[in-house]
Amino acid sequence: MRKLMPTIAVMALSVPALLGLSGIAQAQDKFKLGMAVGGNTCCEWMKAQGDVARALAEKAGWDYVELSNNNDPAIALKNAQIFVQEGVDAVIQFNGQPSANAAISAVLGAAKIPVVTYDIADPGMYFVGIDNLAAGIAGGEQLGLIMKEKWDCNPDLVISSEGAGAGIVNEWRTGGMRTGVKNICPGIPDEKYISFEGSGDAAVALPAARDLLAANPNAVKMAVVGINDGGMLGLINAAEQLGRADEVIGWGQDGAFITGDNVNPHLAGSVFYFLEGYAVYAIRDVIGPIAEGKDVPLKADPGDPASKVQPCPVSAEQAKAVPDMPERVVALLAAPAGTTEYDLFCPNK
Amino acid sequence: MTLDRAIDAMPAATPLRLRLEGWGTPITLLVVWLLLIAATGLYRPDFFAHQTVLAIAFTMSITGVLAIGQGIIGISGGFIDLSQPACLILSGLVAVRLSEAGLPLAVVFAGAIIVGMAWGALNAAIVVAAKLNPVIVTLATNFIGLAALYLVFQLEQVPNDSEIYHMGRARFLGLPVIWWPMLVLIVIVGYLVHYTRFGRRMTAVGGNRFAAKARGISLKTTRFATFMAAGGFVGFAAVLFASAAGPFNPSSAITLQLSVIAAVILAGISLAGGRGSFWMLLLSVGFLSTIPTSLVFFGLSSDNQSIFQGTLLMIAVAIDGYRARRGSP
């Protein structure tokens, strides 16, 4: 009996240990997705990108780890190292500070972890995103049509609210909008195209916009474009303060301020990207097949992306039919797998 | 009376240098400001237009009120309040919420001011209780405050049809409505600091805290009062900010910090405490608000203003240090 007791004890202790080991093995089998959200406080959609990715990962039965890049390249790189330590199987990131992308790519590439990057391309990452240039052109053409109808393509100024910090994305969007305007109204002379730095933030753009308007006192027909709705709204607010709001027509990008019950009446339209729902594209076209063990070829070029997000230009009138972001997220998560917000909400498909 | 007697009875001639003592800074600042205006006007005659005045006045409004708060901290020996951006956004958020609830403008102002004062009291409590340098404390509370605000909201704006929204776009006597409170507050605070007991105590504490203590002035009470008053002004500025700025996020007020500090130093309010005139803020805020507008008229981007403001700040700090060494006002 004395000899039997240790054997029984060892067997008894082995049961939980074996259960634990099998749990670990099961957890190791489970696909684990890492998500690095942008972490820039400018925009609600950055947080929502994480919320949608989490919900879709849970639906797929995956483990999910979310970190914030805090809009800081050093933190974004550190997050990549944490993902390696966490043993994730794939990473999605939105990194508004692309200077760290090469290093992030190297860290995750060395660990053989595939990475999806939203909107900002890197040669080592699957590109999922909007064609920013196409989105810019689409918005610019819509604004051009309004200018043609209202001013016979003869504005006094076409003003760009730039966000230089966004680098090439800024050039694609605001440059694309100017190109779009030129497509409809080719006769506008170059000197009528002016720009100012608005940082993509209405409050920050406001003083510079006021100064620009003051320095152009005779301009009474002004079209304004911007890297996003916020930067463009800075000029509209400035025009309201200087008593010149009726002289301005604005067309933005990203659709952040064109839905809801607090839309500025001088905002003529915007281009929806439905940024919060990018995870649908990433998971449908890249992460999902990888989780199933399929070989997904690396497509890192925005011109030939792993998954292309459709831009959706809408007038202010059309935008009234598009629900606010929280409602859109609810509807998106309730829709069949792979359905995008473009499918659900874009009135100009 | 003989001529000799008449000459004897005359007061002694005051040397020009002595007569200008104390007026050197305002005269210099005024001359430089006028030169800037004249140079811009010569280059672009359309600078002399109502639109320009409006643009400058709008920029002055919020910076001016914030500068009062910063000046109070400076003159009382607290050096700088680096938590103004967080306090402004927090109070601005309260202003938005109260206006969304449809409450009258007076309640919106009261709510934002109370929150600003509470923020000031928090700063003061940490400074007094932990006996820490106010610069370090306010730097830390700014970081903490902004981080906490990031968790609470991403973007806020006052409703387009609210009283506060219209206030941010309205005019009175040809100038922005939000400019007038700035003017009135600077005039009143300038008077209070120089001609009331509390104002003199506050300045005395900033000038020499040991002497002030020996005279029976409570340093703790004064510190609480100054931080709370400064917070109240930030709360007031927050309503102006919320009314004019359009959509804002927790980072939107960070760019104001440099202008506000530069305005206080240029006004001659010593950050080491003990001296300065708040009325001078009208000149310094006006001058600093004119620079970016002038740059645009000269064809330069207004984002170059940071170069000019940074340079001016260095010059002003150097002058402040020189004056402190000379012991002149």
Q: In what order do the strands lie in the sheet with A126-130?
A: A63-68, A32-37, A90-93, A115-118, A126-130, A307-309
Instruction: Report the residue from A206, A218, A242 with minimal CB separation from B246.
Output: A206
Instruction: Assess contact for A320 and A265: CB atoms under 8 A.
Output: no
Alpha-carbon gap, residue B152 to A334, rounded angstroms: 26
Structurally, how many domains does chain A consist of? 3
Instruction: Report the residue from A44, A210, A264 with minimal CB separation from B154.
Output: A44
Q: Are residue A250 and residue A295 in the same domain, yes or no?
A: no
Q: Distance from B170 to chain A by nearest Cα, in Å? A: 7
pLDDT class of B20 with cuts at 50, 70, 90: very low
Decide if domain B55-326 falls under CATH 3.40.50. Answer: no
Q: Are residue A156 and residue A229 in the same domain, yes or no?
A: yes
Q: Are residue A184 and residue A296 in the same domain, yes or no?
A: no
Structure tokens at B81: 């309040």
Across the interface, whether the CB atoms of B154 and A43 are under 8 A apart is answered yes
> pLDDT for B81-135, tens place per residue?
999 999 999 999 999 999 999 899 999 999 999 999 999 999 999 998 888 889 9
Across the interface, whether the CB atoms of A241 and B292 are under 8 A apart is answered no
pLDDT class of B277 with cuts at 50, 70, 90: confident
Structure tokens at A91: 């990473």
Burial readout A134-144 (b: 16 or more C-beta within 10 A, e: otherwise): bbbbbbbbbbb
Q: What is the pLDDT along chain A (349 residues), one digit of tens a residue?
A: 555 666 666 566 565 555 555 555 555 578 999 999 988 766 778 889 999 999 999 999 999 999 998 878 899 999 999 999 999 999 999 987 778 889 999 999 999 999 999 988 899 999 999 888 889 999 999 999 999 999 999 999 999 999 887 788 888 999 999 999 999 999 999 999 999 988 888 988 999 999 999 999 999 999 999 999 999 999 999 999 999 998 899 999 988 888 877 788 889 999 998 989 999 999 999 999 999 999 999 999 888 899 999 889 999 989 888 888 889 999 999 999 889 999 999 987 7
Instruction: Report the residue from B171, B255, B296 with minimal CB separation from A215.
Output: B296
Across the interface, whether the CB atoms of A241 and B297 are under 8 A apart is answered no
Among all residues of chain A, which has the CA nearest to that of B40?
A: A215
Across the interface, whether the CB atoms of A234 and B302 are under 8 A apart is answered no
Question: Phi-psi category of A112—alpha, beta or left, where left has phi over 0 and alpha has psi -120 to 50?
Answer: left
CA angle A258–A260–A265, rounded 5-degree value: 50
Could you list the residue range(s) of the whole structural domain that residue A24 is in? 1-30
What CA–CA distances, in Å, run from B69 to A276, B97, B253?
Answer: 40, 23, 15
Specify the pLDDT at position A8. Answer: 65
What CA–CA distances, in Å, run from A195 to A257, B34, B44, B324?
Answer: 21, 28, 19, 44
Q: Give pTM, 2 decimals.
A: 0.79
Across the interface, whether the CB atoms of B245 and A206 are under 8 A apart is answered yes
Q: Are residue A47 and residue A158 in the same domain, yes or no?
A: no
What CA–CA distances, in Å, run from B250 to A152, B109, B114, B154?
Answer: 41, 20, 19, 7
Specify the pLDDT at position A244. Answer: 94
Q: Is residue A330 part of a domain?
A: no
Q: Are residue A140 and residue A216 in the same domain, yes or no?
A: yes
Alpha-carbon gap, residue B225 to B141, rounded angstroms: 18
Q: Is residue A333 part of a domain?
A: no
The enclosing domain of A179 has a CATH number of: 3.40.50.2300
Mutate: best of B40, B60, B90, B155, partner A, most A CBs <10 A: B155
Across the interface, whether the CB atoms of B160 and A262 are under 8 A apart is answered yes
pLDDT class of B305 with cuts at 50, 70, 90: low
Q: Are residue A111 and residue A74 in the same domain, yes or no?
A: yes
Contacts of B58 in chain A (CB under 8 A): 207, 210, 241
Specify the pLDDT at position B205. Answer: 83
Across the interface, whether the CB atoms of A44 and B244 are under 8 A apart is answered no
Q: Is residue A347 part of a domain?
A: no
Classify A129 as helix, strand or coil.
strand
Among all residues of chain A, which has the CA nearest to that of B150?
A: A41
Q: Are residue A36 and residue A86 in the same domain, yes or no?
A: yes
Classify A271 as helix, strand or coil.
strand
Q: Are residue A156 and residue A67 in the same domain, yes or no?
A: no
- In the DSSP assignment, the letter for residue B255 is T
> pLDDT for B143-162, tens place per residue?
999 988 987 887 888 888 88
Q: Are residue A244 and residue A179 in the same domain, yes or no?
A: yes
Across the interface, whether the CB atoms of B46 and A217 are under 8 A apart is answered yes
> pLDDT for B213-245, tens place per residue?
888 888 888 889 999 999 999 999 999 999 998
Instruction: Report the residue from B51, B255, B295 with minimal CB separation from A213.
Output: B51
Alpha-carbon gap, residue A58 to A56, rounded angstroms: 5
Q: Are residue A113 and residue A245 in the same domain, yes or no?
A: no
10 Å CB burial of residue A238 (0-12, 13-18, 19+) is buried
Instruction: Assess contact for A279 and A92: CB atoms under 8 A.
Output: yes
Instruction: Report the residue from B55, B250, B252 with minimal CB separation from A210.
Output: B55
DSSP H stretches of helix in chain A:
4-29, 44-59, 73-86, 101-110, 132-151, 168-184, 202-214, 229-241, 278-282, 288-291, 316-319, 325-334, 341-345
Specify the pLDDT at position A9. Answer: 62
Q: How many CB pairs under 8 A join A and B?
A: 111
Across the interface, whether the CB atoms of A196 and B51 are under 8 A apart is answered no
Interface of B with A in 89-148 (CB under 8 A): none
What is the mean predicted confidence (pLDDT) over B1-19? Answer: 46
Contacts of A157 in chain B (CB under 8 A): none
Contacts of A234 in chain B (CB under 8 A): 246
Q: Is residue A217 part of a domain?
A: yes
Going by C-alpha positions, the residue among A18, A48, A21 that lies closest to residue A35 is: A48
Mutate: best of A70, A206, A241, partner B, most B CBs <10 A: A241
Specify the pLDDT at position B3. Answer: 44
Domain ranges of chain B: 55-326
